[in-house]
Structure 1
Amino acid sequence: MRDELTSGRDAATWSPLDSDGWYAARNATTALRDALVRAGLEKDFPYLRADLNAFGHGLVELGRVAPDTAERLAELLRLALASGFGPDRGDLGHAPTTASEPKGRT
């Protein structure tokens, strides 16, 4: 029937706190914010926040930045790559910031 709950939950009671995607986005946003603070750029990313899309996948919203902020971020990335930090460096012992999808979902 229409009034029966599926899986004991009503879709109207869903919360982002029930989503692995939300926690992955929040953790990644926190990690990025901490790096921006260390680089002195925290005030240059006022729209930085964790978000979910309509499918419950976590996203990190960076927002708009001034051209000089983008140039500074690009320079920081160039310096990091030049010092050996890059995709070929390996895991570095960090935990992944994205949650794995439960089995059966694509």
Structure 2
Amino acid sequence: MPTDPSSGQDAAAWSPLESDGWYAARNATTALRDALVSAGLEKDFPYLRAELNAFGNGLVELGRVSPGTAERLAELLRLALEHSFARDHEEPTSPTTIEEPQGRT
């Protein structure tokens, strides 16, 4: 903890880049970013970033998204859950595809 006397630093010298919370948030943000890029949603999450709160806990900021983006994300999650359920109980008979919403390039 940054204010712990045994850490060898005082709170003024502490850097968020030296905390496990920061690296956990950064790694999770990177993994989510890569998944969004694979799904073609990288431009739909402009506020995606890693953060650290005042207590040193890492957070992933997703930010605001359009209703269309939220619906597409919900569909991706639904399909992933169906695929996971099918894989746990039996082999799926055909691959699941996602239809691209009209108007997207």
Q: Which bin holds the TM-score, normalised by the shorter protein? A: 0.7 to 0.9
Determine which structure has greater relative contact order: mean sequence separation of CA pairs < 8 Å that are 6+ residues apart, divided by chain length. Answer: 1
Q: Which has the higher helix share?
A: 2
Post-superposition offset of 1:26: 0.2
| Alignment correspondent of 1:60 | 60
Sequence identity of aligned pairs in percent? 84
Aligned length: 81
| Alignment correspondent of 1:15 | 15
Q: Which amino acid aligns with 1:64?
A: R
| Alignment correspondent of 1:32 | 32
Between the aligned partners of 2:39 and 2:56, the Cα distance in structure 1 is 31
1:12 partner SS: coil
Between the aligned partners of 1:62 and 1:53, the Cα distance in structure 2 is 15
Moved over 6 A (4+): none
Deviations 1:43-91 (A, max 9, x none): 0000000001111000000000000000000000000000016xxx6xx
Deviations 1:2-51 (A, max 9, x none): xxxx4431211111111100000000000000000000000000000000
Q: TM-score, normalised by structure 2?
A: 0.73
Unaligned runs of 5+ in 1: 1-5, 90-106
RMSD: 1.3
2:64 partner SS: coil
Q: TM-score, normalised by structure 1?
A: 0.72
Unaligned runs of 5+ in 2: 89-105
2:12 partner SS: helix
Q: Is 1:49 aligned to residue 49 of structure 2?
A: yes
2:60 partner SS: strand
The structure with the largest alpha-carbon Rg is: 2
Q: Which amino acid aligns with 1:74?
A: A
